[in-house]
Structure 1
Amino acid sequence: MPDPIHGDCVRLEREGGLAFITLDRPQARNALDLAMGLGLRDAVRELAAAPPRVLVLRSSGAHFMVGGDVRRFDALLGESQVACTDEIGRLIDAVHEAVTGLTRLPCPVLGLVGGSVAGFGLALAMACDLLVAADDARLVLAYGAIGATPDGGASWQLPRRVGLQRALAIALLDPQLDAAQAREIGLVADVVPAAQLAEAGLALARRLAAGPAAAQAGIKRLLRAGLDTDLATALDAEKASFLALSATPDFAEGVRAFCERRPARFARPSG
């Protein structure tokens, strides 16, 4: 069942070893406001305290997220510049904590996106470890359209995914990328028909959950840390991780299964 502490616009649910964060403000195309930002932050905090085997980040309605609630920004500017700056600052603090938390969770984070994936919606999607897009997805950064610069880690994630020059073109020119284009340049891992997004996402989540949990956590940690370390540091981290995992039951099962030419049966999550 949804956790009520996250309010009406962000739902956190658990099913066995899987957890689901659902953006649930479809009447506003899941536009990000302060309530949603705080709800997202709180959901990630809860998952950090009790990590699942796999987290699925998804949305309700036709659109993943159209970005920040610009109508709210307009209303705040009508009150005063101070009110606008104050609320936007609180919002950015909340979503930055959420984005950081997603990248630090010791489990795969699978994002499922369709429809509009814009502004912070694209930043949030890029915080996921694996991203599957519906074939109706349209991805655009769009910050320049309102005279702003990226947040949510977009300026860090985008050049690492697509290269600096392409990232600059996306940020400066605001092209709308369809799902196939996004896959071609490395923004998403796979594209599926829109009607099959939920089913395909659940199948992939279950496949990940059947894998070796400690090894998956180590893979995520090594690859993310490797973006900002030199080779020698990465090699030391790889050695330490491999040696630690070699003492686990999952390693013994994986080696045995390989030698016996059968699928490995890794430890399953409880619950």
Structure 2
Amino acid sequence: MPIHVERREGIAFLTLDQPQRRNSVDLPMAIALRDAVRGLAAQPPKVVVLCSRGEHFSVGGDVRYFQQLLQGPSNARSAGVAQLVAAVNEAVLGLTELPCPVLGLLNGAVAGFGLSLALGCDLLVATEDTRLLYAYGAIGITPDGGASWHLPRQLGLHRALALALLNQPVSAREALALGLVVDVVASDALQATGQALALRLAAAAVAAQTGAKRLLRVGMDGNLAAALDRERGVFVSVSGSDDFAEGVEAFCERRPPSFG
């Protein structure tokens, strides 16, 4: 299977599992990714860890797949491309809409749709050898998977344009300075770091994390008045949770909280 999902300790590990192809995405892999995200949405874990097997997170769309489409009639080409883009777009949107935090672990090349997929995560940790690359322009195509939405919001318009138009790679350290990743670690420390961070997230108050993620993501659009109204509604709702009661009691008793 090109995509592997394993659940343990309340954490779902979603793994891109085509290392021999540098985790490039063809139609079967795109559909498998979409279906895996649908499964996570149907039964959300406490945390999702998006990672890969092999030396590279993902080099993006499988150019060989596009080459095969180009050899067929134009209507078949358009249909094949549309099917691929629909699947990857649904997968990215589904990740952003999951109620739980999504942690991405990056290594090697993170290019094209690989970059778009990574940007759909809530938190990213990268290895020292990670390189982020827009890549779409190199094959004369425009982005999919939400890159045109995420990049200007995370980098600002002009930095996003520079990344897209100049197609220069961004190192892990540069990504850290830009705020795209939250940590940079040695290659052999990525899995342990990701596991520790995932366990930390899984131990937090679920309703509070769900509400914070939804408010912050929705707050990217709209005005302050609407954001304040959403905040009020979620705050009042979460205040009825057991985790909130435990958090208040633990703070007053000067002890660590034990969230359920």
The TM-score bracket by the shorter chain reads over 0.9
Query: One-letter code of the match for 1:117?
Result: V
Where in structure 2 are the equivalents of 1:1-271 lying within 5 Å?
8-267=1-260
Q: Percent identity over the alignment? A: 59
Distance 1:197 1:20 in 2: 14
Structure 1's unaligned 5+ residue stretches are 1-7
Offset from partner CA, 1:28-55 (integer Å, 9 cap, x none) = 0000100110000000101111100000
Q: What TM-score results when the alignment is normalised by the length of structure 1?
A: 0.95
Query: One-letter code of the match for 2:24?
Result: A
Query: One-letter code of the match for 2:193?
Result: A
Q: How far apart are 1:120 and its partner, in Å?
A: 0.2
Query: One-letter code of the match for 2:253?
Result: E
Find the counterpart in structure 2 of residue 4 from structure 1: none
Find the counterpart in structure 2 of residue 3 from structure 1: none
Q: What TM-score results when the alignment is normalised by the length of structure 2?
A: 0.98
Deviating above 2 A after TM superposition, structure 1's stretches of 4 or more consecutive aligned residues are 79-84
Q: How far apart are 1:249 and its partner, in Å?
A: 0.8
Q: Secondary structure at the match of 2:142?
A: coil
Distance 2:53 2:75 in 1: 33
Q: How far apart are 1:82 and its partner, in Å?
A: 2.5
Q: Give the number of equivalent residue pairs.
A: 260
Distance 1:9 1:126 in 2: 20
Structure 2's unaligned 5+ residue stretches are none
Distance 1:242 1:68 in 2: 41
Distance 2:168 2:175 in 1: 11
Q: Secondary structure at the match of 1:46?
A: helix
Q: Secondary structure at the match of 1:265?
A: coil
